[in-house]
Amino acid sequence: MQTSQQTDWIKPPFSLPQTLENFIDGQHQPALKAQTLDLYHPASGRQYGTLPESTAADVQFAVEAAQRAFPAWAALTAQARSAAMLRLADVMEANLELLAQAESFDNGKPVHVARTVDIPRAISNIRFFATAILHTSQEAHDSGNGVLNYTLRQPLGVVACISPWNLPLYLFTWKIAPALAAGNTVVGKPSEITPLTAYLFSGLCREAGLPPGVLNILHGSGASVGTPLVGHPQIKAVSFTGGTATGARIASIAAPQFKKMSLELGGKNPTLVFADCDFDTTVKEVARAAFSNQGQICLCGSRILVERPIYERFREAFVARVASLKVGDPQHADTAIGALVSKAHQEKVLSYIELAHAEGGNLLCGGEVLQPEGLEGGYFVSPAVFEGLDPWCRSNQEEIFGPVVTLFPFDTDDEAIHYANSTQYGLAASVWTSNLGRAHRVARELESGIVWINCWMLRDLRTPFGGVKSSGVGREGGWEALRFFTEPKNVCIQF
Ligand code: NDP
């Protein structure tokens, strides 16, 4: 793995690679056209390195490597594939601190979040699918009269896994793990904005002895490398997580070629707070659901609907809680809110804060650009809470994907459900109530792939994960992911 001299303006507590490379056929290499993009450290706004700007030529090279590796990888027993993936997970575990520091450095998130959430979860993704594959079975149907049908679930071949910048290694491995476990070979493309941990991960794959070509990682922008990857005729399936507009572009390329697609897209998630909730826990958890990872999680609850009898009490407690969240250096243990991921994203978030003002919103706290000492060029915005906005205005309809939420009151269950379902999105919702009957009723009515009752982002990797409406197509997680990455074949025997 290539490393170069540490930057003098900041001393990351790990050996920082400054020239990232693609990983093809088990080897690191620059893009064939030798073009690069700049990499930025969000907490200071300083450029720290470069990544390859790959093109269709690199896609061709990576797909060929993956095709060569496919027959042997697919022919391994499930136990052998599982063992190779478990070795990889062990090597990741041994490098947990390095990966956590790198994730925080590249993304701007607090390092304690990367250390306790992102990287442990990335390791669990690999372990989960490495062991899930040992417990799969394929269906058989005894049709009577001497006829037996059975279903073979075979790997697809070479698949593409494209992931976003908000939970970089966590979401990259969430796709790669089931694809590999099911016997496919992979060409992966992490976000150009946060490629560092995927680059380090490629080195760990080599260290763990993953056979060359089984996993190939291409870096670069969506336009330059993502598009030709999705359109490559030998790519059999595309697993994508990112924005809804990008998902639509990907679908327009992949669908006419009849590729399998799993699209995990945006959200504008409602949080429904009923007057009978456990008040103190709800205030704390709703703030966590709103602002974890600087509000840059597709599952964050950004439209907070509160039943009118407790609206004012909730608003007061919630705003006090949010205002107490410390915004600052991602390295500090008491930092709750780190830097936003990029200058462009900071500008997008600030433009939505301006829009919310223009739409008549009343800002209750936050929404300011902050400049922590020593990190004056960083992309920090304090968590913003608005009220007084119409549920159908743009601030309440469009995904901001940052630390901006709105509060509004409701009077009846039906009204809450109506507001909750009023956007084009349908990814996740949370419901806070002590009335069990109401919890079940509301959960059924919400147009959402996931509903959490009295909790948020409790994840069991066996459950189906994904959204409805413009939040996506298909489900990840557990058997859903293993089904996606295999092709069922019916075999019918008369004997
Ligand atoms: P983008 O859609 O901009 O990018 C996602 C990935 O797709 C990146 O790797 C990007 O590359 C790549 N890409 C961009 N254009 C193309 C293209 N034409 N063909 C192929 N690949 C392309 O999303 P963000 O990275 O900005 O992530 C934020 C979005 O992700 C939010 O909308 C959020 O809601 C969503 N998201 C959804 C989740 C879910 O599970 N439903 C989970 C997490 C995030 P590059 O960045 O290098 O240009």
Nearest CA to ligand 1 atom 30: 242
Pocket lining for ligand 1, CB < 6 angstroms = 162-166, 189, 191-193, 221-223, 226-227, 230, 241-243, 246, 249-250, 264-267, 298, 399, 401, 427, 467, 471-472
- Distance of CA 310 from the midpoint of ligand 1 (Å): 38
- Token readout for 245 is 């507009």
Nearest CA to ligand 1 atom 43: 298
- Distance of CA 263 from the midpoint of ligand 1 (Å): 10
Residues recognised as catalytic: 264, 298
Instruction: Confirm if 92 and 122 have CB atoms less than 8 A apart.
Output: yes
Pocket test for ligand 1, best of 225, 246, 401, 471 (most atoms within 8 A of CB): 246
Look up the pTM and report it. Answer: 0.96
Nearest CA to ligand 1 atom 36: 242
d(CA 55, CA 369): 36
Provide the residue-wise pLDDT of the chain in tens; the chain has 495 residues: 334 444 566 778 888 899 999 999 999 999 999 999 999 999 999 999 999 999 999 999 999 999 999 999 999 999 999 999 999 999 999 999 999 999 999 999 999 999 999 999 999 999 999 999 999 999 999 999 999 999 999 999 999 999 999 999 999 999 999 999 999 999 999 999 999 999 999 999 999 999 999 999 999 999 999 999 999 999 999 999 999 999 999 999 999 999 999 999 999 999 999 999 999 999 999 999 999 999 999 999 999 999 999 999 999 999 999 999 999 999 999 999 999 999 999 999 999 999 999 999 999 999 999 999 999 999 999 999 999 999 999 999 999 999 999 999 999 999 999 999 999 999 999 999 999 999 999 999 999 999 999 999 999 999 999 999 999 999 999 999 999 999 999 999 999
For residue 382, is it left (φ>0), alpha (ψ between -120 and 50) or beta? beta
Nearest CA to ligand 1 atom 31: 243
Angle at 475 between CA 471 and CA 479, to 5 degrees: 170
Ligand 1 atom nearest 167 alpha carbon: 43
Radius of gyration of the chain (CA): 23
| Strand partners of residue 440 | none
Instruction: Confirm if 259 and 229 have CB atoms less than 8 A apart.
Output: no
| Strand partners of residue 246 | none
